[in-house]
């Protein structure tokens, strides 16, 4: 689960909408920071190796999965807000141009 580790556990969560955009408010039993990397245990490839950015997903408490590149994070103490943002025009175009990748 996003934000949890050996020292922090999810204790409560709520799904709301902000201007029609899903927002998850996750409450932990200790201070939490916004995810910065793409750990293998959170984004798949548990057998090792790297996962291309386009194939990385985050599963939230209700079972909904979003591409990791479409999420933004805000933290405040023990609360993590996860907001699903629509992909940019560039990202949508790149989806149809598999031979062209971003550096």
Please tell me the total count of domains within the chain: 1
In this prediction the pTM is: 0.66
Q: For 27-43, what is each residue's pLDDT tens digit?
A: 999 888 877 654 444 44
Q: Does residue 4 lie within any of the structural domains?
A: no
The residue ranges of DSSP E strands in the chain, in sequence order, are: 10-18, 21-28, 57-59, 65-67, 71-76, 79-84
Look up the domain containing 14 and give its range: 10-95
Q: Does residue 31 lie within any of the structural domains?
A: yes
Q: Does residue 59 lie within any of the structural domains?
A: yes
Q: Does residue 55 lie within any of the structural domains?
A: yes
Q: Does residue 102 lie within any of the structural domains?
A: no
Q: Does residue 2 lie within any of the structural domains?
A: no
Q: For 84-103, what is each residue's pLDDT tens digit?
A: 887 666 666 666 666 665 55
Q: Does residue 3 lie within any of the structural domains?
A: no
* Residues recorded for the chain: 103
Which whole number is the average pLDDT over 64-83? 89
């Amino acid at each position: 689960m996003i934000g949890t580790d050996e020292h922090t556990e999810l204790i409560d969560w709520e799904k709301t909408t902000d201007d029609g955009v899903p927002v998850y408010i996750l409450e932990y039993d200790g201070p939490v920071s916004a995810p910065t990397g793409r750990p293998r245990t959170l984004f798949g490839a548990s057998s090792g190796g790297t996962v291309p950015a386009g194939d990385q997903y985050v599963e939230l408490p209700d079972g909904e999965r979003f591409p990791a590149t479409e999420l933004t994070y805000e933290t405040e103490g023990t609360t993590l807000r996860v907001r699903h943002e629509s992909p940019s025009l560039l990202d949508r175009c790149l989806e149809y141009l598999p031979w062209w990748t971003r550096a």
